[in-house]
Structure 1
């Protein structure tokens, strides 16, 4: 798809600032769960199975 990495620092910093170390950990857990659910919905078993065939690019 083109990206080798994604920066998610702002979300974890928000969790850290709001609720300390446990807040940062919770934000990371939420993001991980969302990725797992999105992959399952797309029929992907692992990161390597994500490819351009599951990305919609022809929007009206």
Structure 2
């Protein structure tokens, strides 16, 4: 779980304090600045540490 948190927090534009990984639910929630990052950047960060991203949505 900390590995996923670290990967997400390393993405420029992600609000580090907002990162919450819900490992048992296979979800991560976070806030990010859309002018600095997008869902593709965030998904790639998770995939780079060996996890699959099945779905990414923004609200």
TM-score by length of 2: 0.31
Greater fraction of residues in helix? 1
TM-score by length of 1: 0.30
Q: Which structure's CA Rg is the greater one?
A: 1
Structure ranking higher on relative contact order (CA contacts 8 Å, 6+ apart): 2
